[in-house]
Amino acid sequence: FALPGASSIPGGLVVYNVSYGNRLAATTAATGVVLTETVPPNSTFNAAASDPGWSCVVNTCTLAVGTLAPGASGSATGSAKP
């Protein structure tokens, strides 16, 4: 969830929207899609303000998207508190 140049006050909430899509050939599904984001240093992931399904270990968070049909796209929200 690192956003270069972004800042927040300690205890504030930073919400991130991650967009993803299958831009492969028009007939190819993307399988096993997983989003991976890093929580910034001195911050903690905030599950209550994030989409369900995120799993975090230390400062690395993942969200299993699964299969994306050709041309499919979506977005996921994650958040952190500095």
Residue the block writes with tokens 């050939």: 25
CA distance 65 to 54: 10
CA distance 15 to 27: 34
Backbone φ and ψ of 73, nearest 5°:
-150, 170
Helices and strands of the chain, counted as H and E runs: 0, 6
Residue 62 neighbours by CB distance under 10 Å: 14
Instruction: Express each pLDDT in 16-55 by its tens digit.
Output: 899 999 986 668 898 999 999 999 888 899 999 999 999 9
pTM above 0.85, yes or no: no
Instruction: Express each pLDDT in 53-64 by its tens digit.
Output: 999 998 999 999
* Residue 76: C-alpha distances to residues 26, 31, 69, 73 (Å): 23, 17, 17, 10
